[in-house]
Each structure stands twice: as structure tokens, then as C-alpha cells.
């Protein structure tokens, strides 16, 4: 039996693909209809039009990744995604016929289904997985068992210890560990913490992508996608000023990191910020789902920047293999090197599908992760200490590990987490451990690169390719 943890796009696509290849599969998820996958709006990046190519897609990915992309992985994903999309279509998924343009892409190449691609795709995969007799159960992973560098089993909340020699983690990222976020509350980074405690190598934890425009409808965060600004939406503050041009000549079409800092700065100066949708033509046709909310809440929506996507995670090779034999990681829980220091829009679902659908090719031919590009492995000890709540962690991280960082704030944060409980198998302890790794990594990277911005080191000064790895000291 192959066990997969997580029922987002990564976990479900791997489960279906393995089942179709004749394997017995069980997917275990702490909440079946959950995860960022359901909330993805924009779509999936794939070079399909006549004037586009995987090489151009790769070039865009590498440019945005700001010197930290693993070029082998970039080429693999940008080429393979075309085959994987064909597989998805053979399985019966139908995309809308037009391609969308998103920030950072030199061509129209974002495949989508209405303005709720993630929800449509995840529901489709869930139904298909059930039809293919993939066993899907609700339970929570608490720990992994290893012996001599290989997986021997795992522990869950309801089932206790189960023997296994192949485990695929697809438990998503840690975006919910910030007070302002586009992520659902399932995304606490538990899979990364659990793998780390089992001996997995973890990397790139400082790279947290913030999205500039998250609105709230009631208490629910709702991502107001780039496409809206591409179609004419503008940003104004409470004095009615269209401020984006004060920060960048591209105004509302500046990159996510620049706009996130601009909006953050407006709030720091005591303003409120709104997205005004009234200038978008054929709004109802282009954004049918958002239109339903707009009917109730109006076309001027207050927006905040917030944590959106976490680049760091369990270091894996292009087969999804970690440094622990039998332990695979796919999707946002992993760090493949595709995104480098900044993720190109719509490359995340592309990566999930490539790693998920292709996994049967590798599942019986273990090679294992080899890391040859590292400069630094930091060794971290887990220990007992102060038990923080998730809300305290979210507040701390927003204040000191947020959009603008510096040594003073990060040192404060590191001392909080060094004195926190990081040894227990609770969500709070996992969240403290993840926050310790991310804040240490952000402290150690004494430069600004990609999504990592330090006001005490505002320039990009490190050698390209230099990343920070963590391993546990036992």
C-alpha cells in the first residue's frame, strides 16, 4: 500500500495516477475538501499557443526566480506540463478555451476554468479518485517512523502506528502561519515539520510570497487576482489617491512584491487601501464568481497584502524523492527548486500536476535526493518550552517575518521560537518549529532577493544559487 497525505491537487493527482498504474493507494487528509488547491483562482501555466514554447516558459520562470531556480527542474516542469495537461484532459477535465496573461509571463499561457480553476479541478480530481477506488480517509499525520535512513511507518491521530515503506507527503505549505493570508487554516506546515523531525533536509524557508490584494467577504479571505488589475482594476487609498505609481512606473501592474510593500506602506502611514473594480468592462462575463460577491459587497473592496505561497519545504529531487528512502514530497510541502526565490504566477499547480501525475514512473525505482549545490546546512535541535498558540504565532510572524524584515525583528522572533515547544506532536509545536526555521533562514540571508526583503540589507549581494538548508540535530 502506498500512503499519501493530503487531498489537494498534488495528493489527488498522485493518487489517481498511481491507482491507474495498478498500485493500491490510501489518501489520508486531515480535512478532505481543504487546502489551497480549492482556493486557487488564476490557473495553470503551460506553453500551448503557436507563438509560445516550454523554453520561453522556462526563461520567464528563471527570470522571476531571481538567481535561485534549479534549471534542471525548471526545464523538466515547463516541458512535462504539456504532457500532463493532455493526461488530465484524457481523464475528462475540460478547460475554458482561452488562455490568460498573468504577471511575469511573456505570453498568454494560463489555462483556467472560469475564475475558480482550483475548486473546479480539485472537485474533479476528488470525484475521479473515488470512482477509481482510491481509499480516502480523514485523519491527521503526527509523525514518521524511520530506521537506518528509510521510512518504516507513520503515526496518525486516530489510527496510531501503521507500517509503510512508501509515504508521499502532499500536505501543503505554511501560509496560514501569518495573521494576514490568502491561505486556509489547514496550511500550518505540519508535513514539513514532521519530515524535518524524521531527518529530512529542508530548504529555502525564508522565501514566503506575499500577495498584494486579499479582500474579505464576511470573515473569509478572498484573493483578488492579478487578472483583475490586468483588466483595469485600480488601487486607491482612503483619500482617493491612486498611489501605486508613487512606488513603481508600472502602477497597478508592478510585480507582487513591489505592490505588497506599497500597500503595506500605505497602511503603515495610517491609510486604508481599496481595489476599485468599476473600470473593468464585461465584468460579470469575465469574473462570474466574483460578480456574485460584488452584488452584495460593491465594486470597491478593501484589500490587504498577505502571505500567499511558501516556496521553502522538504528538499526533493525532480522525482519527488527526499533524502529519506521511501519518503516523497510533492506540491507546496516540497522545495524542488522550481520557483527559486520568487514563484512565477500559476506555476504552482503546474508543478503539483507534473510531480503528482508522473510519480508512478519513479515509485519503484528509488534514486534518492543528492544535494550538491549547498553552501550552508544549519543544524537545529527541537526541544520542549513555552507552548504558543497558533494565533500568537501568526501575530509574531506577521510583525517580524512579514513583508519587510530586519535583524532586530528577526532576532526577537528567533528568541521567541528558540524558547518555544518544538518537540511535541501538536499543530502548535509544528507551527513553532516551522516559524523557527523560516525566521532563522530570513535572519541568515543578509540580502534582499526575490520575495525576501530586508530593509537593513536592501540589495541582492549573495552569489546566485546559494541556498540555506536545515537538518535536525538529534
**Binding residue for ligand FAD (CB under 6 A) from 75, 182, 209, 435?**
182
Q: By C-beta, is 206 or 226 nearer to ligand FAD?
A: 226
| x/- track of binding to ligand FAD for residues 65-104 (CB under 6 A) | ----------------------------------------
The C-alpha cell at 415 is 528568541
CA atoms within 13 A on the CB side of 330: 34
276 C-beta neighbours (distance < 10 Å), count: 17
- Please write down the long-range contacts of 141-144, taking CB distance under 8 Å and 24 or more positions apart: 141/5, 141/28, 141/30, 141/169, 141/171, 141/190, 141/191, 141/194, 142/194, 142/425, 143/194, 143/197, 143/198, 143/425, 144/194, 144/195, 144/197, 144/198, 144/324, 144/327
The answer to whether 306 contacts ligand FAD (rule: CB under 6 A) is no
**Binding residue for ligand FAD (CB under 6 A) from 17, 75, 183, 358?**
183
| x/- track of binding to ligand FAD for residues 389-418 (CB under 6 A) | ------------------------------
Using CA atoms, how far apart are residues 309 and 303, in angstroms rounded to an integer?
Answer: 17
Distance (Å) of CA 401 to CA 64, 162, 178, 206, 256: 21, 37, 9, 9, 17
The C-alpha cell at 178 is 501569518
Residue identified by cell 478547460 is 95
We find the least distance from the C-beta atom of residue 416 to ligand FAD, in angstroms, to be: 23
Region from 22-30, 67-75, 284-292, 447-455 binding ligand FAD, contact rule CB under 6 A: 22-30
The answer to whether 215 contacts ligand FAD (rule: CB under 6 A) is no
Q: By C-beta, is 7 or 317 nearer to ligand FAD?
A: 7
**Binding residue for ligand FAD (CB under 6 A) from 170, 307, 388, 437?**
170
CA atoms within 13 A on the CB side of 363: 25
**Exactly one of 256, 394, 449, 467 is catalytic; which is it?**
256
Sequence-separated (6 or more) residues with CB below 8 Å from residue 320: 168, 328, 329, 330, 334, 336, 355, 359, 362
The answer to whether 14 contacts ligand FAD (rule: CB under 6 A) is no
Using CA atoms, how far apart are residues 132 and 9, in angstroms rounded to an integer?
Answer: 16
Residue identified by cell 512508501 is 166
Region from 26-34, 237-245, 287-295, 298-306 binding ligand FAD, contact rule CB under 6 A: 26-34
Region from 5-13, 373-381, 389-397, 447-455 binding ligand FAD, contact rule CB under 6 A: 5-13
Cβ atoms 253, 230 nearer than 8 A: yes
Q: Is 150 an annotated catalytic residue?
A: no
**Binding residue for ligand FAD (CB under 6 A) from 2, 3, 4, 9?**
9
- Which strands make up the sheet holding 135-138, listed edge to edge? 135-138, 25-29, 2-5, 167-169, 327-329
Region from 39-47, 93-101, 372-380, 432-440 binding ligand FAD, contact rule CB under 6 A: 39-47
Q: By C-beta, is 182 or 397 nearer to ligand FAD?
A: 182
The answer to whether 226 contacts ligand FAD (rule: CB under 6 A) is no
Nearest to 437 by CA among 415, 463, 470: 470
- At 292 the three-state DSSP class reads helix
The answer to whether 43 contacts ligand FAD (rule: CB under 6 A) is yes
The answer to whether 346 contacts ligand FAD (rule: CB under 6 A) is yes
The answer to whether 116 contacts ligand FAD (rule: CB under 6 A) is no
Nearest to 186 by CA among 126, 223, 138: 138
We find the least distance from the C-beta atom of residue 64 to ligand FAD, in angstroms, to be: 13
Q: By C-beta, is 32 or 258 nearer to ligand FAD?
A: 32
We find the least distance from the C-beta atom of residue 463 to ligand FAD, in angstroms, to be: 28
The answer to whether 429 contacts ligand FAD (rule: CB under 6 A) is no
Cβ atoms 257, 210 nearer than 8 A: yes
Using CA atoms, how far apart are residues 399 and 467, in angstroms rounded to an integer?
Answer: 24
The answer to whether 313 contacts ligand FAD (rule: CB under 6 A) is no
Q: For residues 238-277, which are near ligand FAD according to CB under 6 A?
A: none
We find the least distance from the C-beta atom of residue 288 to ligand FAD, in angstroms, to be: 16
How many residues line the site for ligand FAD (CB under 6 A)?
A: 44
The answer to whether 36 contacts ligand FAD (rule: CB under 6 A) is yes
User: What residues make contact with ligand FAD under the rule CB under 6 A?
Assistant: 5-11, 28-31, 34-37, 39-43, 117-118, 140-141, 170-172, 182-183, 186-187, 190-191, 223, 308-309, 331-333, 346-349, 352
Catalytic residues: 256
Amino acid at each position: 500500500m502506498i500512503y499519501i497525505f493530503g487531498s489537494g491537487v498534488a495528493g489527488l493527482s498522485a493518487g489517481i495516477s498511481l491507482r491507474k498504474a495498478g498500485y493500491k493507494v490510501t489518501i489520508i487528509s486531515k480535512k478532505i475538501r481543504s487546502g489551497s488547491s480549492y482556493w486557487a483562482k488564476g490557473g495553470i501555466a503551460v506553453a500551448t499557443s503557436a507563438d509560445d514554447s516550454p523554453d520561453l516558459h522556462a526563461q520567464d520562470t528563471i527570470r522571476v526566480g531571481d538567481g535561485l531556480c534549479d534549471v534542471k527542474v525548471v526545464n523538466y516542469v515547463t516541458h512535462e506540463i504539456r504532457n500532463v495537461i493532455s493526461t488530465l484532459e484524457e481523464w475528462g477535465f475540460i478547460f475554458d478555451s482561452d488562455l490568460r496573461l498573468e504577471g511575469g509571463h511573456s505570453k498568454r499561457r494560463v489555462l483556467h476554468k472560469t475564475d475558480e480553476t482550483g475548486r473546479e479541478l480539485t472537485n474533479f480530481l476528488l470525484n475521479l479518485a473515488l470512482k477509481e477506488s482510491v481509499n480516502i480517509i480523514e485523519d491527521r499525520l503526527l509523525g514518521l517512523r524511520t530506521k537506518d535512513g528509510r521510512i518504516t511507518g507513520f503515526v496518525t491521530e486516530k489510527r496510531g502506528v501503521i507500517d509503510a515503506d512508501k509515504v508521499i507527503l502532499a500536505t501543503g505549505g505554511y501560509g496560514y502561519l501569518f495573521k494576514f493570508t490568502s491561505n486556509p487554516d489547514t496550511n500550518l506546515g505540519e508535513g514539513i515539520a514532521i519530515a524535518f523531525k524524521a531527518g529530512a533536509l529542508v530548504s529555502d524557508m525564508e522565501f514566503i510570497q506575499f500577495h498584494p490584494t486579499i479582500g474579505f467577504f464576511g470573515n473569509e479571505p478572498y484573493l483578488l487576482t492579478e487578472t483583475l488589475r490586468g483588466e483595469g482594476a485600480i488601487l486607491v487609498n482612503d483619500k482617493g489617491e491612486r498611489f501605486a505609481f508613487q512606488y513603481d512606473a508600472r502602477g497597478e501592474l508592478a510585480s507582487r512584491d513591489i505592490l505588497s510593500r506599497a500597500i503595506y506602506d500605505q497602511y503603515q502611514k495610517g491609510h486604508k487601501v481599496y481595489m476599485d473594480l468599476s473600470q473593468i468592462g464585461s465584468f460579470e462575463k469575465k469574473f462570474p464568481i466574483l460578480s456574485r460577491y460584488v452584488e452584495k459587497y460593491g465594486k470597491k473592496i478593501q484589500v490587504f497584502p498577505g502571505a500567499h505561497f511558501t516556496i521553502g519545504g522538504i528538499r526533493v529531487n525532480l522525482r519527488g524523492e527526499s533524502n529519506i528512502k521511501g519518503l516523497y514530497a510533492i506540491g507546496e510541502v516540497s522545495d524542488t527548486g522550481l520557483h527559486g526565490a520568487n514563484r512565477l504566477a500559476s506555476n504552482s499547480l503546474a508543478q503539483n500536476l507534473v510531480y503528482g501525475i508522473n510519480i508512478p514512473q519513479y515509485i519503484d525505482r528509488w534514486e534518492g535526493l543528492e544535494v550538491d549545490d549547498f553552501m550552508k546546512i544549519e543544524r537545529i535541535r527541537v526541544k520542549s518550552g513555552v507552548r504558543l498558540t497558533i494565533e500568537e504565532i501568526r501575530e509574531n510572524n506577521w510583525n517580524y517575518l512579514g513583508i519587510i524584515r530586519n535583524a532586530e525583528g528577526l532576532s526577537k522572533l528567533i528568541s521567541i521560537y528558540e524558547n518555544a515547544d518544538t518537540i511535541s506532536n501538536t499543530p502548535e509545536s509544528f507551527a513553532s518549529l516551522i516559524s523557527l526555521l523560516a525566521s532563522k533562514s530570513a535572519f541568515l540571508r543578509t540580502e534582499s532577493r526575490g520575495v525576501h526583503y530586508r530593509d537593513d540589507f536592501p540589495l541582492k549581494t549573495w552569489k546566485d544559487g546559494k541556498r540555506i538548508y536545515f537538518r535536525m540535530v538529534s
